[in-house]
Homo-oligomer: A and B are copies of this chain.
């Protein structure tokens, strides 16, 4: 029976029962973490061989570069070749970076602020106001970059096939202060949404008022399928070439959740002209990223197919965890009608929407019992979820056993919080 149809007495009963369960859990002194999209040690073990035998006595790239020494700002060719099919870009449309795509993104915005992008009338920090479109729920670290730079964030609702494009089209064509938009086009963080072909085409057809508007296309989960079905999205760079707007998209990806979160490699993709422009700006910052790690990755994975095969091993570890989370939510909360949740076909998160006004309370209740969740509101600009209902669940790090405890506690907390709201406690 739906929780909203319960009588006050029934609600009080449910509340007492579930609260008692939480109390029991509290005694166990648990320490469980579902807060970040962090791969488990078991997943990291899949790439251990990369660290030992990939550089035995040979540090020379295919094109003759000694990867130990200085140089090659845009990265060695065999590393590019890994990323090119993954990101849908060509040899001259890519820069291989260091171990962090977040760093590449932050740096890209920082350069835009201090120096401007190709076609900028002036550096963005010299503009009176810089605004940004933020599809939400979205990735908290994207929003944090905007906040750090004092960029005004405008929330755009996420629909089932991507951001609300009516709103995006209208805003960028009307407001010249809007310089960018964050997108996670495939298995979006946290909703799992995959952008439809229509959404991608509408992006390629945008007519922004700002001449230096950019689409920041963070394809973080481009090979992170949880089913046998590859999520194919339209190639944003190719679509933009068709409309003559190839300088609009800037694409990011990394091996953080393919090889090692702390020691992977990241990449930027963009039009050849954009890449040339960025390289010129970047030459003041760095002589070259770690080419030894690029070589290690290229030799370990060999090619894009090697990456796809490797991802099957990740999937075998991850899928049971996602299934456990979703099936427990189904079992515990469906009949009561407490909220809704995603059942993603890829990515790293389950997005949960509880009753309005319960998200912060659920997170607090869980914390109290030793289960760490992402802060409520984190998936929204400025950390404010207007309905206080969304929670991002990250099932990857805990073991299946830990996860079972954690998600059961989560469901109990969701019931307690729902009772409290309905009882006016």
Q: Which residues of A contact B (CB under 8 A)?
A: 36, 38-39, 41, 44, 47-48, 51-53, 55-57, 59, 66-71, 98-100, 102-103, 106-107, 110, 113-115, 125-126, 141, 144-145, 148-149, 256, 260-263, 281, 284-293
Contacts and interface: CB of A to CB of B under 8 A. Distances in A.
A66 B100 CA distance: 17
B287 A290 contact: no
B51 A286 contact: no
Query: What secondary structure prevails in chain A residues at the interface with B?
Result: loop
Nearest to A98: B98
A70 B290 contact: no
Contacts of A261: 68-70, 287
Given A125-B126, A263-B293, 12 more contacts: A51-B55, A51-B292, A98-B98, A98-B290, A99-B289, A102-B285, A107-B285, A113-B114, A114-B125, A114-B149, A141-B284, A262-B292
A302 B365 CA distance: 45
Contacts of A114: 110, 113-114, 125, 149
B69 A59 contact: no
Contact of A69 (B38, B55, B68, B70): B38
Contacts of A113: 114, 125
A52 B44 CA distance: 18
Contacts of A51: 55, 59, 292
A288 B261 CA distance: 9
19 contacts: A48-B57, A48-B59, A70-B261, A70-B262, A98-B289, A98-B290, A99-B289, A99-B290, A102-B285, A107-B107, A107-B285, A110-B114, A113-B114, A148-B281, A261-B287, A262-B290, A263-B290, A263-B291, A293-B293
A408 B348 CA distance: 62
B262 A100 contact: no
Nearest to A54: B51
Given A263-B290, A286-B103, A290-B290, A68 B53 contact: no
